[in-house]
Structure 1
Amino acid sequence: MSLLDAHTLDVLRSVAVPDTRQRYGAPWFLFHRVDLHLQLKKLATEPRPNTKSVAKINLSSEVADIDLEGAISLTNGECVKKDLVVVADGVRSKFPSKVVGEGVPTQASPTGTAVYRFLIPTEKLLQDPETRPYFEGGGFHGSIARLKDARLVWYPCRRGALQNFGFFVPDTITGFDDEVWNIPASRDEFLKSVSQLHPDLQAICSKAEDLKLFRLCMRKKPIPSLTKGNVVLIGDASHPMLPHQAQGGATSVEDGAALGVLFSHLGSKDEVHRRLELFQKLRFDRVSAIQLLSSVGQDEIHKVVESAQPYFHHGPVPNGLNEYNFTPNVMRDALELLQQDCKTDL
């Protein structure tokens, strides 16, 4: 990662990316969100060896309400009953109160920061002599340029074919109080916002495609439980977090992996409640801690140490978070927990 001054483009700080295979046990990937979604869908819906069944995705099935026994009411009036309900409808979820009760605050509130998000094909940047030097030879793996109250962050994805950008600015959005992700972005306003950046960075931003505004929201503190009855909360519905540690998507994938392991070798639906208790035991402290630690950058962890400490039962909050974020093996830990609970080899 390189930290660039927006006026001189001198490198102020450079952080080398370690050999993640050796240190954390897995390679470092920078995914385009759509590519990751497509692969997860493929894994869930396409037959594979030794797979008895695959998931069926029902589109245009908006959920109006759920209950703790597994009943799901759709907006079209249909009602279905399931043994397990996984609530994964994001930061604006309507259903956390079903799990934690009406008296517990579950609404994620705006933080006062918004992000212009956009993608630019790397080839397009290489074709322009003004922007080419920043992307030749693979360019930066991740870069940040900062102004007084704004910062530009970018990194490559899709094996370097695309550059993913985020320009963080004060939230002055009007007329979209209940919207987070799909807020229309004015190109003229965006170009005005980046006008104080170095001319080279302005040239990069001028090539922005599919420009959108995202409002950053967070829950002030973690909820007290992730599950109740036949319902479990995962992802942003469970632990909405800011992007400063880049762990929002990662923890959501961990949630799904944990459920996949914990609900394997299921003898009957009577075991659902116990398996959800194991999920709570495995995931609650970790996602609560990361939610709080993600509210600041790695250089400001001291600001949230006190609030995060209750979720670290075996020692103090670590100074550097990469080890905490990257080293756990959720599938291994879930399997060990399940084996201990069942007192048998699976």
Structure 2
Amino acid sequence: MSMLMDDYNKRLSQLHSTLDILLKEYDRLPDAAYQVFSIEAEIRSFELRKDRLNLEFSHFNCSMCKQKITDADEPVRMGAKGSFMICPRCIRTINQIKGTTELEEQLGLKSPGTVKQDCEGPLKPLQAEKLIRKSEKCWLVHEVVADLFYRVGRRRNNLLHSWIEEMSDRLNMLKDQKQLLDELRTLIPDSHTQILSLQFQIQDLQTKVDRIKGGKLPYRCSQCGVWIKEGGNPTFFGTYTICSNCKEVVSNVMTTSEAEKKHGLTSGTIRRDNSRGLLDKYKKHGLFRMSGKIWLIHDVVILDKYKELKSEDTPVMQGSEISSDLSQRSASIFNRVMESRRGD
């Protein structure tokens, strides 16, 4: 095992060295964005393989991101029996959502309303990824926006996959050109050579586009650490990636007025209970906190305090119920061994 890990580490070191060279020669490199993307994908692929060798088993999963809660984690327990568990990664994710005033103070922006104005303009592409969203009259922003946009000179290109779109547009243009030349083949001298050239270019670009959108390359969620393989344009900005579960965690942070409307609570209920100290236990972990001049609350607090918070129990395989997934079978065997030891 150690030799295999050494091989992975050696290969990762080589890939990182290659990436450094590509970044250094970025301006001279043809299809530089794709070449860098490709090497980064190889790095992630080897990191995924390493992680699989270091697989840790756990009896519990986070009720939000569905990832394992290890012995080193200290989850927040909620619900009637404490069966709803929130891992430290999700707690961190929840606390990264800020109101515009808090983010402006954090960034030292001298013009109040700058972030709010940007949410209506250049930051719009981030709405689909839940990194910004409007909660009643207030904009809520994930703090990663500071790194993606504000700390790099408010460049909008950092928020767009422009190079992927450009590659797809170029592919479509070449296909149109080839189709036209095929139709005019008998009229244009040397059209055969031009058609062959276009065909090779189309094949090259098609392979690259398929590789990007095919759901074969691994991405690691920057929030919960899960490995993602999904078809279509990947959700990533630079080195930042977010999975669908974490998008849901983020989107469930809201203002108190939105929470009251969503769950049919009387207006002012949360403010009243806050003044009475009935929500203090949620403040400890940032599930209910003040951001600038507004209070932010996670949906799970409303369910725990005013409704019913249910936890999805993970079924334990019994008898002949054998999973087709190797990791699940291994986890089942491990859990049974641990249960038998505790029984002894």
Q: Which structure is higher in strand share?
A: 1
Which is richer in helix? 2
Common fold: TM-score over 0.5? no
Q: Which has the larger radius of gyration?
A: 2
